[in-house]
Amino acid sequence: QDTDEFILPTGANKTRGRFELAFFTIGGCCMTGAAFGALNGLRLGLKETHNMAWSKPRNVQILNMVTRQGALWANTLGSLALLYSAFGVIIEKTRGAEDDLNTIAAGTLTGMLYKSTGRV
């Protein structure tokens, strides 16, 4: 059976464009960053408090590290995804084409902007 599964309006694309995918990309990166940051915070919290006995102050310090690192990683990856998506949409609208060159250019511009701030 070669018929389409969905009925689309005349002239509509069968795939999502860059702008629609940007929301998924940004949200996914924020959630991934929060998860990795929380795991990193747990690792750092356990490492820094290994000499302390299990008590409320130790638990509070570990939770502080988990939330601090989670927020830091979520903000960092979310910001990078926002820049990447914005560059991708702007380049696509400017060029009027959807191809791999847009992705390469968006990634390159994002990396250059991120490195220009002095981060290692």
Residue 120 lies in a domain: no
**Residue pLDDT, tens place only, 74-93:** 999 999 999 999 999 999 99
- For residue 11, is it within any domain? no
Query: In this model, does residue 53 exceed pLDDT 90?
Result: no
Please state the rounded mean pLDDT for residues 34-39.
96
Q: 40 near 72, Cβ under 8 Å?
A: no
User: In 10 A of CB 55, how many CB atoms?
Assistant: 10
Q: Is position 2 within any domain?
A: no
Give percent of the chain above pLDDT 90.
59
Over residues 10-21, the pLDDT tens digits come to: 666 666 677 778
Residue 51 lies in a domain: yes
In a domain, 10, yes or no: no
Residue 75 lies in a domain: yes
Q: Containing domain of residue 66, as a range? A: 34-89
The residues, any chain, with a CB within 8 Å of residue 115's CB and separated by 6 or more, are none
- Would 115 be classed as within a structural domain? no
Q: Please give the tally of structural domains in the chain.
A: 1
Q: Would 68 be classed as within a structural domain?
A: yes
Alpha-carbon gap, residue 106 to 75, rounded angstroms: 19
Question: For the residues 94-107, what does the mean pLDDT come to?
Answer: 89
Give the pLDDT of residue 20: 78
Alpha-carbon torsion (105, 111, 115, 116), positive or negative: positive
Q: Which two tokens stand for residue 106?
A: 């968006």
